[in-house]
Amino acid sequence: MSEYIFLDTKPRVLQVSELTRAINQLLEGNVPALWVRGEISNLVKAASGHWYFALKDEQAQVRCVMFRHKNQSLDSTIANGSQVELLAVASLYEARGDFQLTVEQLRPAGLGVLYEQFARLKQKLEDEGLFDATCKRALPAFPRRVGIITSPQAAALRDVLTTLKRRLPGVPVILYPTPVQGAGSAEKIADAIQTACERNECSVLILCRGGGSIEDLWSFNEEVVARAIFASAIPIVSGVGHETDFTIADFVADERAPTPTAAAQRAVPDRETLLKGLRDTAQHLLRSQRNRLQNAMQALDYLQRRVVHPAEQLKQKSTVLDQMQQRLQRNFSHGLQQEQWRCKSYTHRLRGAGSDFRRMQDKLVHQSARLVQAMQTGQSRKQVRLATAGQHLGLLNPAQVLARGYSLVQHSDGRLVCAAEQLATGDTLRITFASGWATTEVTERGV
């Protein structure tokens, strides 16, 4: 199509869409993908996920588009003012005839070697524990002096001084001048930190510099600066670059501020805030004192109502004493009457019990005589029964039977012999007499 349009010798009126399409084909076919460096402005992150922005430098700008599938893996810190390098294809947006770059890759400016150095040093220092939160010190609430480490010509210095003067006018400020970019600046920054620590004049140090490219801020990414910050005996606030800028110094410092102005705000308290706090405290104390005074007055009124004149107190006590004396007399009289009545009652009971005592005594004598007679009668009966039982026992005694001429015959094993059938010729027998015993042998038996 493009060859036909531009090589045709016959003049032809083109449609706008034909022209923009032909120019787009020329750009896409003849301009390769290029790396371009510049600053992002007018960034729009559409709801669809696509990014639209302008890439500019001091003299020109160009429209750019980066589609969602290309920007999903990028850091969300990309914003207006970011210095970036991007790989893009030149094209023409045919619908509007706008020249634009279709971005394939995007990275912060200087990402190449410098960013790799940054990443390696950051990982090394992090592994050594220089970023550990437990190593970071708290900033003093009321610093006696504030030290500033920066270039005397830096615009950040004016911002910091203005902020310090506005927030806490009376705090002394000591400047430790040092270059903040260029060859050898990192070593000079480290020397300035060491000098401030050796002189020990300040309670807090502000390490600051204005914004710039990664190359401009590179001094704050040097290892010598990081180790000087970590070894500092004085707490350090890092305020380097803009809010989107991060340096190694920010990670090592005791506190990181997004800007030099913010670093000054972190380093000293706000005078107006302090004054307001003092006013609020004074009002609180006044209210507390007033409340205590009012409470004391109310307590005094209450105590005054309770206070009684000594004469009145004596009169009241006398009245109470009289009442107690009357109660004591009544109680004594009543108790005496009770005891007298109880004594009379016991007397009557004792008198009534005299005749009963004599009657019971006579009954006891009579019962004693009956008991003696019953015991004698019972003893006689028992003696008669005992004699009768003795006679019966004598009659049943085997010794009495044996005494009449009978004998007791037993086998050798002790069995009694009651009949001849229990015997056999040759058995040995034991014969027990009334007096003594003998053994014999059966030679003959009869039935």
**CATH number for the domain including 152?**
3.40.50.2300
On whether residue 150 sits in a domain, the answer given is yes
Highest mean pLDDT among 9-13, 95-99, 283-287: 283-287
94 and 157: one domain?
no
Picking from 267, 288, 320, the residue at the C-terminal end of a domain is 267
261 and 275: one domain?
no
On whether residue 374 sits in a domain, the answer given is no
pTM of the model: 0.46
Quick check: 343 pLDDT over 50?
yes
On whether residue 436 sits in a domain, the answer given is yes
Burial class for 152, CB neighbours closer than 10 Å (0-12, 13-18, 19+): exposed
Average pLDDT, the chain: 85
185 and 227: one domain?
yes
The model's pLDDT over 37-79, given as tens digits with 9 standing for 90+, comes to 888 889 999 999 899 999 998 888 999 999 988 888 776 667 8
Q: Which two tokens stand for residue 24?
A: 């787009």
CA-CA distance, 414 to 428, in Å (whole number)? 11
Picking from 255, 284, 304, the residue at the C-terminal end of a domain is 304
CATH number at residue 90: 2.40.50.140
Burial class for 148, CB neighbours closer than 10 Å (0-12, 13-18, 19+): buried
As for how many domains the chain has, the answer is 4
The model's pLDDT over 400-418, given as tens digits with 9 standing for 90+, comes to 777 777 888 888 888 888 8
Residue 1: pLDDT band (50, 70, 90) is very low
Burial class for 171, CB neighbours closer than 10 Å (0-12, 13-18, 19+): buried
On whether residue 201 sits in a domain, the answer given is yes
204 and 291: one domain?
no
On whether residue 342 sits in a domain, the answer given is no
CA-CA distance, 447 to 8, in Å (whole number)? 180
243 and 274: one domain?
no
59 and 145: one domain?
no
Specify the pLDDT at position 4: 47
On whether residue 126 sits in a domain, the answer given is no
278 and 192: one domain?
no
Picking from 257, 289, 304, the residue at the C-terminal end of a domain is 304
Specify the pLDDT at position 441: 85
On whether residue 421 sits in a domain, the answer given is yes
208 and 184: one domain?
yes
252 and 277: one domain?
no
CA-CA distance, 298 to 302, in Å (whole number)? 6
CA-CA distance, 74 to 84, in Å (whole number)? 12
261 and 154: one domain?
yes
247 and 180: one domain?
yes
Specify the pLDDT at position 2: 47
Could you list the residue range(s) of the whole structural domain that residue 427 is in?
402-441
98 and 148: one domain?
no
On whether residue 349 sits in a domain, the answer given is no
